[in-house]
Amino acid sequence: MISFETSPEKYRHWKLRVEGNLAFLDMDVREDAALRPDYKLKLNSYDLGVDIELNDAVQRLRFEHPEVRAVVLGSGKPGIFCAGANIFMLGTSSHVFKVNFCKYTNETRLALEDACQNSGQRYLAACNGTTAGGGYELALACDEIVLVEDGNSAVSLPETPLLAVLPGTGGLTRVTDKRKVRRDRADVFCTLAEGIKGQRAVEWGLVDAVIPRSRFEQAVLDRARRLAALDRSEKGPGVPLPTLEPAISENEIRYRHVTFSVDRAHRVATLLVKGPEGPQPLGADAIHAAGADFYTFRLFREIDHVLLHLRFNEPEIGLLLIKTQGDLDAVEKLDETLARSSGHWFVKEILLFMKRTLKRLDLTARSLFAMIEPESCFAGCLMELALACDRSYMLDNPEEKVDVQLSPLNTGFFPMSNGLSRLQSRFLAEPGRVAELLAHPGGFDARAAEKAGLVTFAVDDLDWSDTVRVAIEERASLSPDALTGMESNLRFGGPETMETKIFGRLSAWQNWIFVRPNAVGEKGALSLYGKPERPGFDWKRT
Instruction: Map residue 49 onto helix, strand or coil.
Output: helix
**Contact (CB, 8 A) for 2 and 35:** yes
Q: Which amino acid is residue 148, in one-letter code?
A: V
Mean pLDDT of 489-501: 92
- The band of 168, judged by pLDDT with boundaries at 50, 70 and 90, is confident
DSSP code for 535: P
> Which helix H or strand E contains 348, and what residues bound it?
helix 345-362
Contacts with 161 (C-beta within 8 Å, 6 or more apart), sequence order: 191, 192, 193
Instruction: Map residue 105 onto helix, strand or coil.
Output: helix
**What is the pairing mode between strands 247-248 and 252-254?**
antiparallel
Tell me if the bond preceding 237 is cis, omega within 30° of 0.
yes
Instruction: Map residue 50 onto helix, strand or coil.
Output: helix
Structure confidence at residue 361 (pLDDT): 98
Structure confidence at residue 509 (pLDDT): 81
Distance between CA 117 and CA 161 in Å, rounded? 33
Contacts with 398 (C-beta within 8 Å, 6 or more apart), sequence order: none
Distance between CA 328 and CA 461 in Å, rounded? 21
| Angle value at C-alpha 18, between 14 and 24, nearest 5 degrees | 45
| Angle value at C-alpha 398, between 392 and 403, nearest 5 degrees | 40
Beta carbons within 10 angstroms of residue 199's beta carbon:
12
DSSP code for 534: P
- The band of 492, judged by pLDDT with boundaries at 50, 70 and 90, is confident
Average pLDDT of the chain? 96
- The band of 506, judged by pLDDT with boundaries at 50, 70 and 90, is confident
pLDDT at 488 over 90: no
Q: Which amino acid is residue 126, in one-letter code?
A: A
- The band of 236, judged by pLDDT with boundaries at 50, 70 and 90, is confident
Q: What percent of the chain has pLDDT over 90?
A: 92
| CA neighbours closer than 13 Å in the CB half-sphere of residue 332 | 16
pLDDT at 508 over 80: no
Structure confidence at residue 174 (pLDDT): 96
Structure confidence at residue 511 (pLDDT): 79
**Contact (CB, 8 A) for 299 and 257:** yes
Distance between CA 19 and CA 391 in Å, rounded? 49
Distance between CA 505 and CA 500 in Å, rounded? 8
**Contact (CB, 8 A) for 366 and 318:** yes
DSSP code for 440: -
pLDDT at 507 over 80: no
**Contact (CB, 8 A) for 174 and 130:** no
pLDDT at 153 over 90: yes
Q: What digits encode the pLDDT tens for the residues 4-13?
A: 999 999 999 9
Structure confidence at residue 398 (pLDDT): 87
Q: What digits encode the pLDDT tens for the residues 380-412?
A: 999 999 999 999 999 999 888 899 999 999 999
Structure confidence at residue 510 (pLDDT): 79
Q: What digits encode the pLDDT tens for the residues 53-74?
A: 999 999 999 999 999 999 999 9
For every residue of 133-154, DSSP letters joined together read THHHHHHHTSSEEEEEESSS-E
Structure confidence at residue 89 (pLDDT): 95
- The band of 489, judged by pLDDT with boundaries at 50, 70 and 90, is confident
- The band of 172, judged by pLDDT with boundaries at 50, 70 and 90, is very high
Q: What digits encode the pLDDT tens for the residues 174-195?
A: 999 999 999 999 999 999 999 9
pLDDT at 212 over 90: yes
Distance between CA 432 and CA 427 in Å, rounded? 8
Q: Which amino acid is residue 321, in one-letter code?
A: L
119-133, 315-329, 490-504: segment of lowest average pLDDT: 490-504
Q: What digits encode the pLDDT tens for the residues 81-101?
A: 999 999 999 999 999 999 999
CB burial of residue 151 (10 Å; 0-12, 13-18, 19+): exposed
Mean pLDDT of 275-296: 96
Contacts with 508 (C-beta within 8 Å, 6 or more apart), sequence order: 485, 488
Buried b (16+ CB within 10 A) or exposed e, 301-329: bbbbbbbbbbbbebeebbbbbbbbebebe
